[in-house]
Amino acid sequence: MYLKHFGLNEMPFSLTPNTQFFLNIGSHQEALNLLVVGLENAAGFIKIIGEVGTGKTILCRQLLNSLDDRYVTAYIPNPHLTPAGMRIAFAEELGVAVHRNQGQHRVLAKINERLIELAQQDKLVVLLIDEAQAMPEETIEALRLLTNLETETQKLLQVVLFGQPELDELLNRASLRQLKQRITFSYYLKPLDQESIERYISHRLSASGYNGAALYPKNTLKQLYRASRGIPRLVNILCHKAMMVAYGKGERQITPAFIRRAVADTESAFPIPLINIRQLLLLGSLLLAMLFAGYNFGWRL
């Protein structure tokens, strides 16, 4: 597509959560630091909340890559499971052989045996659940009961929940108050600010092999920020489409007009006002001056 045109080795704005493109700044840096500290202190439950497209999955994968060999991790990307399905998925992640028709008491016993075995090896077991807001209530309760597994001196399992704001609504139910009380650390991912967007784009282009002049001038970045509100997924979509437009026109710099074309083709993008606040103030001042001048002219007549 436009790789050769811009001198790129790979697509810089793919929607795949590739940790090669993870940028440790702002809200994501704070969240990753909290996760690492929380897990080192055996936090029990940690919760990360973020709106759609704010980068929860890439943060989860970055955490997986960041943990050293003291940790044994289990990752469930789609937790819309029955309690039995969740236990089986967790067991399989730990390398425990179970049968789909095996009794749940036996599955739980095998999980407990494996957790004790790992604890004896001084391993810390972490279960990471993405899209946690999709978990049925009874599955969340089964997860809480799973974390009751312990020795006389330590818990055998820590859990990190990544979810949309609906997860908070779910956990606010009275029936889940016991699990909510076990959440030791929580963090709300924030969108990128305008300065961070510039660093974000520069980082992704550099990681894709770009080493030319700045592709996104300041006025283009302002338009991009207004249209994306700093949501990384929207930034990726709009940048990709804008670069397609530039490629089609044979241009090597992304202009505000190309961002507007991308916005028009993206339903989830925020509309860009045709006149910004500074222009409105200038127009208002001009109208007042004209009215004042007209009033003075009429008074003299």
pLDDT of residue 146: 92
pLDDT of residue 230: 95
Phi/psi at 72 (5° precision): -115, 120
Show the low-confidence residues of the chain (pLDDT under 70): 274-287, 289-301
DSSP-derived secondary structure for 203-226? HHHHHTT--SS-SS-HHHHHHHHH
- The answer to whether residues 137 and 18 touch, using CB atoms and an 8 Å cutoff, is no
> What are the structural domains of the chain?
3-18+192-264 (1.10.8.60), 42-188 (3.40.50.300)
pLDDT of residue 301: 46
- The answer to whether residues 72 and 118 touch, using CB atoms and an 8 Å cutoff, is yes
**Half-sphere exposure (CA, 13 Å, Cβ side) for 287?**
6
pTM of the complete model: 0.86
Cα separation, 30 vs 188, in Å, equals 10
Record the tokens describing residue 42, joined without a space.
Answer: 């055996």
Specify the DSSP element, H or E, that contains 256.
helix 256-264
Beta bridge partners of 160: 46, 128
Cα 278 to Cα 214, 224, 273: the distances in Å are 26, 18, 12
pLDDT of residue 157: 95
